[in-house]
Structures are given as structure tokens and as C-alpha cells.
Amino acid sequence: MTRWVSGLSEGKAIALKCNQCEKSSFPPQRICDCSSSKNEWIELSGKANILVKTSGVDGDFAIAKFEGSDNSAVVSLKGFKKDEMNGKISSCDPSQPSLNLIPIKSGNE
């Protein structure tokens, strides 16, 4: 998981691509759904579409599908308005790596 964690700190979406079936996973899955353990690290664009959001006292979170990944990820939302459903990965505090999504606005695409 080291590549995943260091990628988060840099604001990069580092995924695993299966060499057997070519599916990509983000967060990375060491063993693919096809049961292959042969894979390589790839960098995704970092852009994601939000599938479902939750908000309340516990904060704002969502399930988001990142471009180039075949699975979805639970993300922490930073600065999203209610109707905003597209975002990109943002960098985080290296001492507290987390998968954060910020809204895509013109200029930060």
C-alpha cells in the first residue's frame, strides 16, 4: 500500500492494473477479482464522478468512480456544494494520508 499512500500525499491517484484481465482498481486491490496477483502501478487522471453522497454531523463523504478505475472509492469531500458531482483528487497532509476530493472548477481541471 506504500505507493497508494505516497500517491495520496502528492495528490496523485495511483492504481493497480491487473496484467491478466486489465481491470484497474483504486483503491488498489493486491489480488484482482479474477484472482490474478500479477499487476502494475499506473497513475490515473485523478478526476472522479460522484455516485452517492452523505453529509451530516459526521462530515461529507461519497462513493466516487475515478476515471480509469473499474471499481469505486469512498472519498472525503472538501468544499462541495449540494449539486456538484464531479471532482478531482487533492493532495493531503503527509502525516495523515487520506483520499480527498475537491470540486472541479474552471481553472483547476
Partner 1 sequence: MTFVTGYNLTQFNRRKDGSSFRDWVSETFDASLEISSLDRRDIDTLIVSSESDFFTLQLNPASVIADDLGLFNIEALRVEGGGASGQLAVHAGVKSILSGASKHVAIIGFDPSASQLPSETIKKLYSYSFDAWTDGMNGVSATALYALSIQIFMSETGLNEYDLANLTINNRENACLNPGAHLKINHSQDEILNSTMISSPYRRLHCSPLSDGAASIILSHKNYIPSKRKTAPEVIGIGSSVDRVNLGARLEMGEFTSKTISMKNACKMADIKPSEIGLAELYDAYAGAQFQAIKALGLSSDFLKDFRNGRFHKDGEMPINLSGGLMGQGAPVGATGVGQAATCSMLLEGEYHDELQINDIPKYALADTHGGIGTTSATSILESNIN
Which candidate, 45, 82, 42, 44, places its Cα nearest to that of 62? 82
Distance, in Å, from the CA atom of 29 to the CA atom of 37, rounded to the nearest integer, reads 9
Q: What 3-state class would DSSP assign to 21?
A: coil
Burial group, residue 16, by CB count within 10 angstroms (0-12, 13-18, 19+): buried
State the minimum distance, in angstroms, from the CB of residue 19 to partner 1: 19
Give the dihedral sign, CA 4/10/11/17. Answer: negative
Q: Which of 9, 61, 85, 91 binds partner 1 (CB under 8 A)?
A: 61
What is the footprint of partner 1 within residues 90-109 (CB under 8 A)?
Answer: 96-100
Are the beta carbons of 33 and 22 closer than 8 angstroms? no
Indicate whether 89 belongs to the interface with partner 1 (CB under 8 A).
no
5 near partner 1, rule: CB under 8 A? yes
| Residue 75 within binding range of partner 1, rule CB under 8 A | yes
> Binding to partner 1 by residue 34, rule CB under 8 A?
no
* Residue 20 interacting with partner 1 (CB under 8 A): no
Decide: is 9 part of the binding site for partner 1 (CB under 8 A).
Answer: no
Residues near partner 1, by CB under 8 A: 1, 4-5, 25, 27, 29, 51-59, 61-64, 71-76, 96-100
